[in-house]
Amino acid sequence: MVQPASSEPDGEWVELYNSGGATITLSSYKLGDEETRGHGEGMFQFPMGASLAPGQVIIIAQNAANFHAVYGFNPDFEIAASSPVVPDMRKVLSWASGTISLENNGDEVLLLDGADLLADALSWGNSSWAFYPPCPAPLTEWSLERYPVYIDTNTSNDWRTQPIPTPGTVNLTPPTPTPSLTPTRTPTPTTPGGGLLVSEVLYDPFSAEPAGEWIELYNASGETIDLANCKVGDEVVPGNPEGMYQFPSGASIETGQVIIVADRADVFTNTYGFYPDYEYIDSDGNVPDMSKYIPWAIWVVNLSNPGDEVLVLDENDYFEDAISWGDSNWAFDPPCPVIAEGHSLERYPAEVDTDTAADWIDQAVPNPGQVNLY
């Protein structure tokens, strides 16, 4: 529990599970959020006699009194010494001088064994210390839950955000595959006049990232396209921690029209002198906001310079169009080459879609809002 509705860090807690077949003696184990010995976050050791039986779950709360008030029962251990009936964790000053206070925007939880070797770890938000990409930062009152609890691949795929936290209970049920949600790459060349196409992408702006990023879409079909249930983002696998955003109700794009989806409208407007059509992050009341498409991905669009994807989904979550570059060949192989800072990738001509990198050029002078046709 990273971001409780109650006061922070008092409402925070960590749950541990023994997936092995033998009881683990915990008295030499440590738990904390300081990944570097000698720095100022927190590391705490279990009290003497503590153990964890096979299949058992225990909860380490920041404040036992706060935890009991929220969930109606006591945790197994606490950090703040608020309850005489809950054993206290012991501060490990040889590792860290501070206390555990989980940062909402990004932090880590580490479990060290008796030799101070890493037994397990988790990171989220802007911290990729445990794995990359990290887990998405959970919303207020949501938790990060390992699902199923016995799986450990040391990736963020092991984790999901849980809108209804269940401390003390773990989920052993294997996840149900949902192949119908996964976009498939079936090349469908169109020459010209395809449909809703990505026509230009600026993924490495001179301005701050991702604030200066933008995506341009072009309607190459012969009719107006209803965008209200269409999505655009950089997450190719449902449930993984990149971003997918949905257009607002009433949105549409006429035949031959170009629209721009900016990360932040204020940064885009300051750069180009006009408003984009939509924005991810609410920065300007003149520009309609996209909304996170939670069934697919709950994090944000943040285009990676070394390699990433942009994809468009239709109203049924089926793949509509995509581009990939750098070290990502998801959309096509070979992908588009990495381009210089401030350049864009432009579809040229805008009407042609062969599902190959040959559709794209390195545009040294990005020109959002205009496309090059035959």
Strands (E), 159-223: 159-162, 196-202, 214-219
CA proximity to 226, closest of 190, 184, 257, 199: 257
- Domain boundary assignment for the chain: 13-162, 189-363
DSSP H stretches of helix in 79-124: none
DSSP string, 224-240: -EE-TT-EEES--STTS
Alpha carbons 212 and 303: distance in angstroms, whole number: 11
| pTM, rounded to two decimals | 0.54
Cα dihedral 179, 184, 186, 189, rounded to 10, equals 140
- Mode of pairing for the β-strands spanning 77-78 and 57-61: parallel
The CB density around residue 339, as the number of other CB atoms within 10 Å, is: 21
In whole angstroms, what is the distance from residue 156 CA to residue 77 CA? 26
pLDDT at 166: 93
Instruction: Write out the chain's pLDDT in tens, 374 residues.
Output: 999 988 899 999 999 999 888 999 999 999 999 998 899 999 999 999 999 999 999 999 999 999 999 999 999 999 999 999 999 999 999 999 999 999 999 999 999 999 998 999 999 999 988 888 899 999 999 999 999 998 888 889 899 999 999 999 998 876 654 434 444 443 333 333 458 999 999 999 998 889 999 999 999 998 999 999 899 999 988 877 789 999 999 999 999 999 999 999 999 999 999 999 999 999 999 999 999 998 888 788 999 999 999 999 988 888 899 999 999 999 999 999 999 999 999 999 999 999 999 999 999 999 999 998 86
Angstrom CA distances, 344 to 248, 258, 267, 272, 318, stand at 26, 16, 16, 14, 26
CATH fold of 189-363, please?
Answer: Immunoglobulin-like (2.60.40)
